[in-house]
């Protein structure tokens, strides 16, 4: 997994939630953001084994980080991973 990859949480209270990989800490952990509950200011540290990788990725991560734009991350996730029923 690399920064910009879109993943789905498979465990924990955020199970089923789409998130964007912000950074890879080591071979076991990544930092995740979604622009909503997990904002750029406070990313979630999560084990890679608890994540399901999707074939999607965003190229707007650098732009969101430099401008500290959580709304941009939310919009990207909505565009890349439409919610069920919408």
Q: Give the tens place of pLDDT for each residue, 16-70.
A: 999 999 999 999 999 999 989 999 999 999 999 999 999 988 888 888 888 889 9
Report the alpha-carbon distance of residue 78 to residue 49 in Å, rounded. 24
Q: Give the tens place of pLDDT for each residue, 3-18.
A: 999 999 999 999 999 9
Considering the domain boundaries, does residue 85 fall inside one?
no
CATH number at residue 38: 2.30.30.30
Q: Which residue range is the domain that position 10 belongs to?
A: 5-79
Provide the token pair at 43.
């990313």
Considering the domain boundaries, does residue 25 fall inside one?
yes
Query: Which three-class secondary structure state does DSSP give residue 75?
Result: helix
Query: Looking at the 3D structure of the chain, how many domains does it have?
Result: 1
Q: Are 20 and 40 in contact (CB under 8 A)?
A: no
Considering the domain boundaries, does residue 59 fall inside one?
yes
């Amino acid at each position: 997994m690399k920064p910009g990859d879109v993943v789905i949480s498979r465990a924990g209270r955020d199970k089923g939630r789409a998130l964007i990989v912000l950074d890879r800490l080591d071979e076991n952990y990544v930092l995740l953001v979604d622009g909503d509950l997990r904002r750029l200011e406070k990313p979630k540290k999560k084990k890679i084994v608890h994540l399901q990788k999707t074939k999607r990725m965003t190229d707007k991560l650098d732009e969101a980080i430099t401008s500290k734009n959580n709304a941009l991350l939310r919009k990207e996730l909505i565009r890349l991973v439409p919610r069920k029923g919408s």
